[in-house]
A and B are shown apart, each in its own frame.
Chain A
Amino acid sequence: MEPSQLTRFEAVVLPHLDAAYTLARYLMRDAHDAEDVVQDAYLRALKYFDGFRGTGPGDSRAWLLAIVRNTAYTVRRGRRADERATEFDEALHSEAVADDHPEAAVVSQSEREELHRAIDRLPPEFREVIVLRELEGLSYKEISDVAGVPVGTVMSRLFRARKRLQDALCGEQQEP
């Protein structure tokens, strides 16, 4: 890695630091963990910058976010290794999503708190599509590249994630 390459990397990839940190915060749900994930992701990105340049689909932002995403999942998997957590199951989680908001009975939740709780309770595969679409403004194609799933799957995850968030908000609004 020559100094000029590092300069170029910094010019192209460092501007996406806020986007990277935002995605990491939502996936890790912890500021300190998110910082570690972002730093690891940047080192990985630097290593592969030459191979990526001008060859892969999508721009450097989607590419960096994909690395952040996979780094976050690796860290989470490592943590849960001995918890024997169930793997994400497209069909299973899709069916169960709508009914899971016992906190809807809690009165006087503000819309803001309700939304935060709802997004925290989403499986990460649903949470990430909301963050990538609504907060980062990625296209379906870019989200599909980042998450490594077909565009059709991106659309169905978005649909179900939104339904779940909406149900949580409606539950809150219907309270006296």
Chain B
Amino acid sequence: MTHQNFETQLDAYLDGELAAVDVRELETHLAECPDCARFHQGRVALRAAIHTHLPVFPAPDALRERVREALRATPREHIARRVVGPVIWRSLALAASFAVVALGSWRLAQRRAGAETLAQEVLASHVRSLMPGHLTDVLSSDQHTVKPWFNGKLDFSPPVHDFSGRGFPLIGGRLDYVGGRPVAALVYGRRQHLINVFLWPAVGAAPGGPAAVTHQGYRLLHWTTSDYTCWVVSDLAPPELDDFGALLRWSDSIAAPPM
């Protein structure tokens, strides 16, 4: 191990993030090189100073109470309400309840069929986007260019991320039409592969997913958060696309709301 490598690897070593084989090599070098041993000592002293002098702040009780109250004051959604009729209507209610069950399964079937139709539409749109000149309306790897581009073109402002550091660079965005409404389509890349992300507000849809389906060799992921319904489609290998999906959900969920 060279001197220069050492400085960059020492932190990883002290943080317990260095592979075992590198640890041995580094410890050997450390025993032989006084300069590096001094550097190591400095880091160890710094860590001791940090742990001695920089406090962890326990949350005040008042804050704990405040957070609890705020959480409980949050409006409850998605609670099914059941109307209970008078006793004499019990038999009728029973019959009605069968009808409700039947209606429920019909709705479920409808929703499945709806998802199937949506999957077909999303896939068709993805394939169309791959044809020359159809991929993007706004071609930019800058999220601060792509996001404002949608202003005035949609009735919502889609979350746009820059994942170039994670190996999924943003390529651009375009307007599209899916499920009977205008939607935001964002295009990300992975090597020579393209990923289309379709987004629209989750109106009346309960949060759920992610679910995956495969159509004609393309993998499609979809889920619904409290804000958006999202479909992701690509010819990328399933594990990589799933990684991208996880990254997207993570990034959407931690994004602070604009204040």
Partner of A38, one of B47, B63, B72: B63
Q: How many residues in B have their beta carbons less than 8 Å from beta carbons of A?
A: 59
Among candidates A10, A17, A74, residue contacting B259 with C-beta atoms closer than 8 Å: A74
| CB-contact partner of A46 in B47, B53, B66, B71, under 8 A | B71
Q: Which residue of A lies closest to B228 (CB)?
A: A51
- Given known pairs A2-B79, A166-B43, the reply for A17 and B67 (CB within 8 Å) is yes
Question: Does A12 have its Cβ within 8 Å of any Cβ on chain B?
Answer: no
A contact residues around B258 at 8 Å (CB): 74
Known interface pairs A43-B74, A55-B210; A10-B250 also in contact (CB < 8 Å): no
Q: Which residues of A contact B46 (CB under 8 A)?
A: 162, 165-166, 169
Q: Is the CB of B15 within 8 A of A140?
A: yes
Mask for A69-108, Cβ within 8 A of B = 1, else 0? Answer: 1110111001000000000000000000000000000000
Known: A1-B78, A2-B76, A10-B71. A56 touches B253 (CB 8 A): yes
A116 to B55, CA, bound (A): 10
Q: Is the CB of A44 within 8 A of B256?
A: yes
Q: How far is the CB of A28 from chain B (nearest CB, A)?
A: 11
Residues of B close to A75: CB separation below 8 A: 259
Judge whether A9 and B57 touch: CB under 8 Å.
no
Which of chain A's residues 151-172 have a Cβ closer than 8 Å to chain B? 153, 155, 158-159, 162, 165-166, 169-170
Residues of chain B lying within 8 A (CB to CB) of residue A134: 47, 50-51, 54
Known contacts A35-B63, A35-B66: A150-B250 contact under CB 8 Å = no
Inter-subunit contact B8/A155 (CB<8 Å): yes
Which residues of B (146-165) have their CB < 8 Å from a CB of A?
Answer: 165
Q: Other than the known A10-B71, A139-B17, what 7 A-B pairs have Cβ atoms closer than 8 Å?
A: A3-B76, A50-B207, A63-B254, A67-B254, A67-B256, A134-B54, A135-B54
Residue numbers of A with Cβ under 8 A of B are 1-3, 6, 9-10, 14, 17-18, 20-22, 25, 34-35, 38-44, 46-48, 50-52, 55-58, 63, 66-67, 69-71, 73-75, 78, 111-112, 115-116, 119, 130, 133-135, 139-140, 145-146, 148-150, 153, 155, 158-159, 162, 165-166, 169-170
Q: Pull 23 A–B residue pairs with CB atoms less than 8 Å apart, ordered by A.
A: A1-B76, A17-B59, A35-B63, A35-B66, A39-B70, A46-B74, A51-B209, A55-B223, A67-B256, A74-B258, A112-B53, A116-B53, A119-B54, A130-B50, A133-B15, A134-B50, A134-B54, A135-B54, A153-B165, A159-B11, A165-B46, A166-B42, A170-B42
